[in-house]
Structures are given as C-alpha cells and as structure tokens.
Amino acid sequence: MRRDMLPWNLLGIVVALGAWEIGGRMLGDGLLAPPSSVLAAFPALLRDGMAEALGTAMLQMLVGYACALLVGIPLGVLMGRSRMADRLLHPWLSMLLVTSTAALVPLFILIFGTGMAFCGALVFMASAFYIMLTAYQGARGIDRRLMAVARSFGATRMQAFRMVLLPGLFPYLVTGARVGLVHAIRAMVMAQMFVMVGFGGLIAQSGFDASTAGLLALLVTIMLVSLALNRALDATGHRLAPWYRASKAGH
C-alpha cells in the first residue's frame, strides 16, 4: 500500500464504520448491531470465557498448521526442482486444491471423532496444499539466469542451493505461510462450528441470540487475530529477508 494513499485508506475505513453504525441503528441490534453495541458486547463475552476458547482454538490450529508447513514446503520444493516428482504429485495437488474443506468435515468426523485430531486434520488439509503450491511455484520460478551465474562462478550444488535457491525461495515460503494461515484459521473455525465446541461453537451459538452484537464481536475478534498474525508473518519475512516485499511473491 502506498503511503501517499493513506488518507484514502483512512477515509475508506471511516466511511465503512460510519455506514455500519448508521445502518445498524436503523436496522436494530437484531439484524445488524452497530459498532457501538458490538463494543459493548465484549465484557460479557470475556466473562463467558471467549479469550480461553480463542486460545485453545489457536493452539489446535497451530498444530495442524505446523504439520502443513512441515509437509507442504519440502514436497512443494521437491516438485519444483524434480520433474519426476512434479509428474507424480501434480495430479494430487490439483485435486486436493479444489477439494472444499467443508466437504471433508463429515468424513473427518467419522474418521477422527470430534476432538483435537479432527480439528488438526481439517486445518492440515485446508492449508497444506496452498503452502505446497506456493513453494512449488517458488522453486520452479527460481531465475535460471541466476542459477547459471552461480554455476559459472563454480558454485557447488550445496552452495547454489544455499546462496541462490534458498534466498529466491524464501519470499514464496513466507507468502505460502501467509496464504496457508488464512486457510488454517478458516478451517479451524469451520471444524469448531460444525461440532459446536470452543470458539467456533461460540459463533454458532451466538446465532441464536436476540442481538447480533455478540456474533459481530466474535467475528471482529477472529478478524483482528487473523490480520495480526498475517501482519506478524509479513514483518518476520521482511526482517529475515529484506528482499521479500520487493519480490513478486511479496504481493
């Protein structure tokens, strides 16, 4: 986002919040609680243990997400660098990418039950293949000319990997991690909503309230968490590799 557009960014946010507040007051809390009511709903939610539920949910999500990173990155890089691996894995990747996480929910309940394994498995399936796809694109897209430069300077295989491949790959890994995280959070909420437990359960239950203030407060919370985690990953990527944001994968 360009800095000189900052006033317009702010204007957009202010207009959206204003429209929400005015619209909410006109429609009433039952249909659309305005921001002021939503803010007022937080103390009650915190009393009811929202923070603990959110913490547990994030922990479960992180387990599945970590597995997805551990599996998705190596497989994606392998696919990008080896033609045979590409041929063998590509059909599976294409298939699993278009598989809707929601469609897996009933199946996974039958296989894993409704506990932590279920949530973790769903998160894994939702995020692993996006991570793999981005790693694959990164590994494939490594500039051939840069590899040629490395070879011309007599780099060994290991040196070329460390000095050209890895730095070139890194932006894609960060992007993959960010995209994967979005899907991981979505899957976590989905799993919990379906079996009505934890944070997702709170969302599902708040649908029965007379006021939408509680529901919207929960949505705002998960939104802020998601934005904050994404921002944190972006900042980490930028700190570890300053060339990350300038690269194609950084957008």
Give the binding site for other proteins (CB under 8 A).
Answer: 1-2, 5, 8-9, 11-13, 15-16, 30-31, 83-84, 86-95, 97-107, 109-111, 133, 182, 185-186, 188-190, 193-194, 200, 203-204, 206-207, 212, 215, 218-219, 222-224, 226-227, 230
**Location of structure tokens 């293949």:** 129
**Min CB(100)–other proteins separation in Å:** 4
Residue 46 CB, shortest distance to other proteins, in Å, is 18
Of 9 and 156, CB closest to other proteins? 9
Cβ proximity to other proteins: between 163 and 234 the closer is 234
Nearer to other proteins, 150 or 187 (CB): 187
Calculate ∠ Cα 45-47-53, nearest 5°. 65
Query: CB-based burial of residue 1 (10 Å sphere; 0-12 exposed, 13-18 middle, 19+ buried)?
Result: exposed
- Longest C-alpha distance within the chain, in Å? 71
Between 40 and 102, whose beta carbon lies closer to other proteins? 102
Q: 33, 216 in Cβ contact below 8 A? A: yes
Could you tell me the smallest distance in angstroms from the CB atom of residue 197 to other proteins?
Answer: 14
- For other proteins, which is the closer residue by CB, 56 or 101? 101
Q: Angle 131-137-143 (CA atoms, 0-180°, nearest 5)?
A: 140
- Give least dist CB 67 to other proteins, A: 19
> In this complex, which beta carbon is closest to other proteins, that of residue 56 or of residue 159?
56
Contacts of 241 (CB under 8 A, 6+ apart): 167, 170, 171, 174
Residue nearer to other proteins on the CB measure, 138 or 186? 186
Residue 198: C-alpha distances to residues 27, 50, 51, 111, 186 (Å): 30, 9, 10, 20, 14
Tell me the closest approach of the beta carbon of residue 133 to other proteins, in angstroms: 6
- Measure the CA–CA gap between 203 and 218, rounded to whole angstroms: 7
Shortest CA distance to 132 belongs to which of 68, 66, 61?
68
Distance of alpha carbon 111 from alpha carbon 124, whole angstroms: 15
CB of 77 to other proteins, least distance (A): 16
Residue 69 main-chain phi, psi, to 5 deg: -65, -45
Nearest approach in angstroms of CB 66 to other proteins is: 19
